[in-house]
Amino acid sequence: MNTANLQLKGLIMAMASICDAIVEKELLTHQELNAALAKARKAVEDDDDHELSDANRAAILFPIRVLMLADEANKRGERFTFSDYAKLVGKLT
């Protein structure tokens, strides 16, 4: 596997933990965090300045979708592995 992919997996999971901490410290609510992630997702979906293939756009959206799923899981008191989140993203897209 490409080393960059492994680094991105680690970064995404680190960001999920940071998002959890932000909510736990009450700096943002789950709703506010979800709104911020939804705003990022919409910006990618609406970006027509670049001619991206559907596969490239899905790749860009992947970490945002993982973080959204991680926030939903955190709300329920659950935590998953990166592989679990990747499977969920695949099922939902």
pLDDT per residue of the chain (93 residues) written in tens, 0 to 9: 678 789 999 999 999 999 999 999 999 999 999 999 999 999 998 887 777 888 888 999 999 999 999 999 999 999 999 999 999 999 988
* Alpha carbon distance 31, 4 (integer Å): 31
In this structure, are residues 74 and 20 in contact, taking their beta carbons and an 8 Å threshold?
yes
For tokens 């492994």, the residue is: 6
What pLDDT, on the 0 to 100 scale, is given for residue 4?
77
What pLDDT, on the 0 to 100 scale, is given for residue 1?
62
Closest by CA to 62, choosing from 50, 72, 54, 51, is 54
pTM of the model as a whole: 0.89
